[in-house]
Amino acid sequence: NAGVTQTPKFRVLKTGQSMTLLCAQDMNHEYMYWYRQDPGMGLRLIHYSVGEGTTAKGEVPDGYNVSRLKKQNFLLGLESAAPSQTSVYFCASSYVVGGAGNQPQHFGDGTRLSIL
Amino acid sequence: AQSVTQLGSHVSVSEGALVLLRCNYSSSVPPYLFWYVQYPNQGLQLLLKYTSAATLVKGINGFEAEFKKSETSFHLTKPSAHMSDAAEYFCAVSDSGNQFYFGTGTSLTVIP
């Protein structure tokens, strides 16, 4: 059982380059999330999705775009990478049972992204 | 909006001593509360959750947390620390909405 799989695990980009981070879950979860983790700041929500074909902005959405074309996949895109986007990115997914928020999130192992 | 405050970004305890990691939340509605643990170079793993059942919640690896509404707290404890408990711990809160709010984390060091 793979759970939540993030691809790639590491990446170094130059300022202005673009890239897409892939998140795949095999648990048939409705909700999926993208976070960034920076030292001393915990996890901050970038975007999330409550189902296939839907996305919504989180706390820090600027500079990022997302898509959820298939239920099991959630893509995070950086159109023009900036050094401020150097971070560790985590994808998570969760069930919805009788309403949102009462089920824990399952996390991937993260993507470590450096922007030079 | 919800928020979570974790007091103490770094906590050190001796092996065998009590572990106490503090979490206070703000929520306008009864919250759902979670503790996660993160080991180096890994994602977050669920330790335990509170979803309005018993106020004392038992989790994995001997951890437990008590929900105190009057203090808006959800502190994490373990009676006896083990070397393998060294990790980063995150408290998170959610209401009935779609988002989770995380604290800034507490790094636990266990001294042999």
Reduce the secondary structure of chain B to three states and give it as a string: CCEEECCCCEEEEECCCCEEECCEEECCCCCEEEEEEECCCCCEEEEEEECCCCCEEECHHHCEEEEEHHHCEEEEEECCCCHHHCEEEEEEEECCCCCEEECCCEEEEEEC
Which residue, among B65, B60, B112, B57, has the nearest Cα to B86 in the 3D structure? B112
Q: Is residue A99 over pLDDT 70? A: no
Q: Which residue has the higher pLDDT, A53 or B99?
A: A53
Model pLDDT, residue B99: 79
Give the tens place of pLDDT for each residue, A54-87. 999 998 999 999 999 999 999 999 999 999 999 9
**Contact B104/A42, CB-based, under 8 Å?**
yes
Closest Cα in chain A to B88: A42
Q: Compute CA distances B80 → B15, B84, B109, whole Å.
A: 7, 11, 13
Q: Compute CA distances A87 → A2, A10, A22, B9, B11, whole Å.
A: 24, 11, 16, 19, 24
Q: Which residue has the higher pLDDT, A102 or A115?
A: A115
- Residues in B closer than 8 angstroms to A99, CB to CB, are 96
Q: Does the beta carbon of B107 lie under 8 angstroms from any beta carbon of chain A?
A: no
Give the tens place of pLDDT for each residue, B58-110. 999 999 999 998 899 999 999 999 999 999 999 998 876 677 889 999 999 99
Distance (Å) from the alpha carbon of A12 to chain B's nearest alpha carbon:
17
Asked if A107 and A95 touch (Cβ cutoff 8 Å), the reply is no
**Contact B45/A100, CB-based, under 8 Å?**
no
Contact residues for B69 (Cβ-Cβ < 8 A; gap 6+)? none
Give the tens place of pLDDT for each residue, B1-28. 678 999 999 999 999 999 999 999 987 6
Closest Cα in chain A to B105: A42
- Residues in A closer than 8 angstroms to B41, CB to CB, are 109-110
**Contact B104/A100, CB-based, under 8 Å?**
no
Mutate to test the interface with A, among B4, B10, B36, B44 (most CBs of A within 10 A): B44
Q: Is residue B30 over pLDDT 80? A: no
Name the helix (H) or strand (E) containing A93.
Answer: strand A87-94
- Residues in A closer than 8 angstroms to B40, CB to CB, are none
Model pLDDT, residue B23: 96
Model pLDDT, residue B54: 81
Asked if A35 and A87 touch (Cβ cutoff 8 Å), the reply is no
Q: Judging by DSSP bridges, how do beta strands A10-13 and A111-115 pair with one another? A: parallel
Q: Is residue A101 over pLDDT 70? A: no
